[in-house]
Amino acid sequence: MTTKRTGLPRILMEDRLHLLRALVLFAWGLLAAFVGIEAALRFHPDTQWPEMAGFSTTYNTLLAVFAINTVVLTALLVQRDWFERVPRSAEHRVAWLLHLVLIWLGLHLFFLFHSTGGLSGALGALPLLSVIAMLILLPGRAGWGFAIYMAAGYLLVTALAQAAFIHPEGALARAFAPEGLLFEWSWIALFAVALAVGLWGRGGWAGAIADAHPARRVDSGTGLFRAAFLQQRLQRELRRGRRQQSPATLLMLDVEEGRGGMSEAERVRPYADCLLAMIRLQSDTPAHYAAGRVALLMPATDAAAAQAFVQRLIGALQEAGLRLPRIAGAVVDGTVVEAQQWLAATEMALRETAEDGTLRLVRL
């Protein structure tokens, strides 16, 4: 029997959190630009802060709302427990939060583009830079979708201003004109943004955290996560389990015995394919832990559920004509345990396990 290969999810909770952090940092930079523009014009003796058509009130009201939203998002990200309290079945809702943040940032970028003078000075390149940034930050269709959203929004803002449906275009246009106070500074800011975008793009999206990058967290030979990513997940699941009083199981398979003369990928890949066809892809963490060793982290799984899963796994391995590996595991049930203790207990149980496919399970 040939086991159908199932790939790991490309986008995980860790990716969404990393992207949210990047967007919130961008929001703080945007907030500094809002405040800096107003401060420069209010305190410079040769310029006057525009008051026409209620511009000042509108500007400061939106600035206050933007600041409050940015502070709330920052608090959620700093207090990471908030995200870890999200049930496994509801983690996809974080994607909706991410979409809302992107739309919110886009709307404020449109406002900044319009209020600071539209196409005056260097800011005329802001739409193009924001599109490039989104194509780099967001993977796949998400990047193209948001790039289209940004481009359409800028065109709409410009069209509404030209048609006089919104307040006169460029309430700060004179400051960004060639003879204006902020003209040279806008070019410096543009260069800084372009440099930041270029540096970000060198490592690909989410490249700031090497182990979180999709191309680096997965072992290409086996199709499983790397051991370093498993270590990160172990810490997170231990914290989640203690708060929610939820059990978790770490299984380990030894597929090395009797498989001499084969490469590591050839030895492990058939077992990896069976695992990937059976596990919960959005919550379980299968990893190539070491040479000939495969680990599987199963959140919200007690001893009985782990036993039932192993029985199904043994049946799938036998059906695929594979030699039964040694299998052992350790169950944590809300107790205070370190990740290394969990791994050590699982490895010790594996060493004491018979080579007959029988599961040895210990409780911590």
Q: Do 177 and 120 touch, CB atoms closer than 8 A?
A: yes
Question: Could you tell me the pLDDT band of residue 359, with boundaries at 50, 70 and 90?
Answer: confident
Model's pTM, two decimal places? Answer: 0.71
Spatial CB neighbours of 104, under 8 Å, sequence gap ≥ 6: 69
SS3 state of residue 295: strand
pLDDT at 210: 44
Half-sphere exposure of 307 (CA within 13 A, CB side): 7
Q: Is 244 exposed, middle or buried (0-12, 13-18, 19+ CB in 10 A)?
A: middle
Pairwise CA distance, residues 358 & 327, whole Å = 7
Which residue in 343, 76, 14 sits closest to 210, CA to CA?
14
What is the torsion angle, in degrees rounded to the nearest 10, for the CA atoms of residue 235, residue 239, residue 240 and residue 242? 130
Q: For the residues 251-266, what does the mean pLDDT come to?
A: 74
Question: Could you tell me the pLDDT band of residue 109, with boundaries at 50, 70 and 90?
Answer: confident
Q: For the residues 226-239, what does the mean pLDDT come to?
A: 86
- Per residue in 297-326, pLDDT (tens digit) is 998 888 899 999 989 988 888 888 888 888
Q: For the residues 81-104, what does the mean pLDDT come to?
A: 74
DSSP 355: S
Residue 361 forms beta bridges with which residues? 329
pLDDT at 57: 82
- Per residue in 334-346, pLDDT (tens digit) is 677 888 889 998 8
Token readout for 19 is 């992207």
The dihedral region occupied by 290, where left means phi > 0, alpha psi between -120 and 50, and beta the remainder, is: beta
Token readout for 109 is 């970028």
Question: Could you tell me the pLDDT band of residue 22, with boundaries at 50, 70 and 90?
Answer: confident
* Res. 4: pLDDT tops 60: no
- Per residue in 61-72, pLDDT (tens digit) is 888 888 998 898
Which residue in 175, 168, 174 sits closest to 40, CA to CA?
175
Question: Could you tell me the pLDDT band of residue 1, with boundaries at 50, 70 and 90?
Answer: very low
Across 157-166, 200-209, 266-275, least confident range: 200-209
* Res. 272: pLDDT tops 70: yes
* Res. 211: pLDDT tops 70: no
* Res. 208: pLDDT tops 50: no
- Across the chain, mean pLDDT equals 77
SS3 state of residue 329: strand
Domains (ranges, CATH) in the chain?
A: 13-208 (no CATH), 214-363 (3.30.70.270)
Question: Could you tell me the pLDDT band of residue 170, with boundaries at 50, 70 and 90?
Answer: low
Query: CA angle, 330 as apex, 329 and 333 as ends, to 5°?
Result: 145
Query: CA angle, 114 as apex, 169 and 162 as ends, to 5°?
Result: 40
Residues in the chain: 364
Q: Do 48 and 123 touch, CB atoms closer than 8 A?
A: no
Burial annotation 200-233 (CB, 10 A radius, 16+ → b, else e): beeeebbbebeebbbebbbbeebbbbbeebbebb
Q: Do 301 and 292 touch, CB atoms closer than 8 A?
A: no
Of the two residues 176 and 96, the one the predictor is more confident about is 96
Query: CA angle, 194 as apex, 188 and 197 as ends, to 5°?
Result: 140
Of the two residues 185 and 149, the one the predictor is more confident about is 149
The percentage of residues in the chain with a pLDDT greater than 70, rounded to a whole number, is 73
Q: Look at strands 218-219 and 224-226 and give their pairing.
A: antiparallel
Q: For the residues 103-131, what does the mean pLDDT come to?
A: 71
- Per residue in 285-294, pLDDT (tens digit) is 899 988 888 9
Q: Which helix (H) or strand (E) holds 363?
A: strand 359-363
pLDDT at 15: 75
Burial annotation 283-299 (CB, 10 A radius, 16+ → b, else e): bbbbbbbeebbbbbbbb
Token readout for 139 is 């993977």
pLDDT at 137: 64
* Res. 214: pLDDT tops 70: no
* Res. 7: pLDDT tops 50: yes
Q: What is the distance between the terminal CA atoms of the chain, rounded to a whole angstrom?
A: 37
Q: Look at strands 285-290 and 218-219 and give their pairing.
A: unpaired
Pairwise CA distance, residues 210 & 226, whole Å = 12
* Res. 209: pLDDT tops 70: no
Cα–Cα distances (Å) from 8 to 69, 110, 118, 309, in that order, read 34, 37, 44, 19
Token readout for 340 is 């290394």
- Per residue in 35-52, pLDDT (tens digit) is 888 888 888 777 778 777
